[in-house]
Amino acid sequence: MSSWVLIIIFIIPLLSGLLMSIFKPKDRLMKIISYTSVILTSILVWFSIFLIQDEGFVILKIVEKYQISLRFDNAGKIFAGMVSLLWPLALMYSYGYMKHDERRGIYNNFYVMTYGVVLGLCFSENLLTMFIFYEMLTFITLPLIIHPMTSEAKRAGRIYLYYSLSGSSLSLVGMIMMTTSLGTNSFNLAFEMSQSASTLYQIGFVFCFLGFGVKSAIFPLHYWLPTAGVAPTPTTALLHAVAVVKAGVFALIRITYYLGGASLLQGTWIQYFMMMVASFTILFGSIKALKEQHLKRRFAYSTISNLSYIVLAISFMSRLGLVSAFLHLVIHSITKICLFFCCGEIIENSSAKYVYELNGIGKKMPLTMISFTLASCSITGIPLFAGFVSKYYLIKAGLSLANVFSYIGVGCLIVSALLTAVYSLSIPFVSFVNKPNEKNQQIIDKANENSKEMLAPIITFSLLCLVLGVGSSFLVSLFMNLFM
């Protein structure tokens, strides 16, 4: 019974997107169908979070040891719960943003279908199923990136594809190695395993880490993310702050904690390698974000940096590490989607693209910039905001591990927090405090806050950043109960 519910849940968005691309309904009908399917799916997801037991079932057996099967366990529930709350609001935002676009029909259909694929990823019971949905995610988000059809967009799409598919062949090799070594690739949360890891398992793990690391944007596999900034903002926001990149780190969580077990790799060179890569990427992302003046690219680099916060937490390979990884996964998604939506609204409604063009825009777009401020405080990690919570537990997990690499990681975290304060808080600062000059007077004149569809999600998310920060104990104790 529960099996059918899970299948129905991720089929609904896929099917509605497919039907809409065949029958091509007009604007109002398209909006109605899309909202209905997305909201219905989200409601079903939340019912399932409470009602479905944690048991797996097989859909299709491909070969020995490799089968497609679904299961809704705690990790999947967290990711699915978060995504299902964000998607309806993101859909609303995308209607506001794409109002003037001729081909918004195709865009909308793929936007809806991606939801189904991401949910399928949450429901995966083993590495093969997750790999299949991971691949589908690459292909189904490609049309969203190349949507503008300019040569820039096509180049971004090509680079995205090359990086992702190279990564996927690495993950395929790694998956086969790990499955051969373990005898199975089902996901089971494991912290203590009796045997030590064989060489085949370790090499396979490294391959998988590099393969899934492409979507997690670790250095040097991150290049596709800033390049994909040319995509329309709803894409960058939802996919590259919430769905695609979080799928990457979710996959990393799965292979670290749910296959051979976290203790299998503790203390090995692999753990130190992961920590070094993560620490370097944290610093790299923050420094590049500081130098970058283009709004969306700045936050793309910020995403790269924040993803490595999660990778660092994963590399601690402890229970607290897992809790802090999930905390940051959820909190960063909400924060980053808010920031990107603000950027998108600014770009759409005032054609400003660079930070230096934003002098004095606060007067014309007050609500937007206030939300921007709230989200920036959250991403910096100021207490009372949500971002502080995840950073706090991250640092705590790092310190409790007590080895050289984790201290380096924590150090990089703190430096990055300072840099984040500069690059994120400077934007609302210049928009409220500075006066407009002749160079951006045109932009200021054009700026407006008239699109309610874009404004509503922005305000919701920024308030959420505040609420989760103040009432954080609820979330923290929930995650602690799940994993400790």
Give residues in contact with other proteins (CB under 8 A).
Answer: 60-64, 66, 103, 131-132, 135-136, 139, 146, 149-150, 154, 157-158, 161-162, 165-166, 168-170, 172-173, 176-177, 180, 200
Q: How far is the CB of 179 from other proteins (least distance, A)?
A: 9
CA within 13 Å, CB half, 213: 24
Residues composing the chain: 484
φ, ψ for residue 62 (rounded to 5)?
-90, -65
| Shortest distance (Å) from residue 60 CB to other proteins | 6
Nearer to other proteins, 208 or 352 (CB): 208
In the complex with other proteins, which residue's Cβ is closer, 66 or 257? Answer: 66
Q: Give the whole-angstrom CA distance, residue 124 versus residue 453.
A: 33
Least separation in angstroms between CB 117 and other proteins: 12
The encoded tokens of residue 168 equal 């996927």
Q: Which residue has the tokens 């393969």?
A: 211
d(CA 281, CA 368) in angstroms, rounded, equals 30
Residue 222: CB minimum distance to other proteins, A: 17
Element (H, E) at 461: helix 452-470
Minimal distance, residue 403 CB to other proteins, in Å = 32
133 or 258: whose CB is closer to other proteins? 133
User: Which pair of tokens denotes residue 442?
Assistant: 């045109």
Amino acid identity, position 134: Y
Q: Provide the minimum distance between the beta carbon of 180 and other proteins in the complex, in angstroms, as a whole number.
A: 6
List of residues 6+ apart from 250 with CB closer than 8 A: 75, 79, 121, 122, 329
Evaluate whether 355 touches 471 at the Cβ level (below 8 Å).
no
* Residue 377 C-beta: closest distance to other proteins, Å: 41
- Beta bridge pairs of residue 197: none
Least gap, CB of 175 to other proteins (angstroms): 9
CB of 460 to other proteins, least distance (A): 34
CA distance 339 to 247: 20
Nearer to other proteins, 200 or 430 (CB): 200
303 and 245 in contact (C-beta within 8 Å)? Answer: yes
Q: How many Å apart are CA 234 and CA 240, to the nearest integer?
A: 9
- Output the smallest distance, CB 211 to other proteins, in A: 9
Residue 368 corresponds to which tokens in the numbers above?
């937007």
Residue type, 279: S
Identify whether the C-beta of residue 368 lies closer than 8 Å to the C-beta of residue 455: yes
Give 51 or 62: the residue with its C-beta nearer to other proteins: 62
Query: E strand or H helix at 69, and its extent?
Result: strand 66-70
Nearer to other proteins, 189 or 200 (CB): 200
**Cβ distance 67 to 61 under 8 Å?**
yes
Q: Least CB distance from residue 12 to other proteins, whole Å?
A: 20
Whichever of 11 and 189 has its CB closer to other proteins, that residue is 11
Nearer to other proteins, 136 or 230 (CB): 136
H runs (alpha helix) in 220-318: 224-227, 233-234, 244-257, 269-291, 295-315
Q: Which is nearer to other proteins, 59 or 433 (CB)?
A: 59
- Smallest distance from the beta carbon of 132 to other proteins, in angstroms? 4
Dist. CA 365–CA 262, nearest whole Å: 48
Task: Give the residue carrying structure tokens 């979507």.
Answer: 215
Give how far the C-alpha of residue 374 lies from the chain's centroid of Cα atoms, to the nearest Å.
Answer: 20
Contact 59, 48 (CB under 8 A): no
Q: In this complex, which beta carbon is closest to other proteins, that of residue 22 or of residue 404? A: 22
Quick one: which H or E segment has residue 479?
helix 472-483
- Both tokens of 115, joined, read 């939801």
Q: What type of residue sits at position 208?
A: C
Nearer to other proteins, 232 or 362 (CB): 232
Q: Which is nearer to other proteins, 97 or 134 (CB)?
A: 134
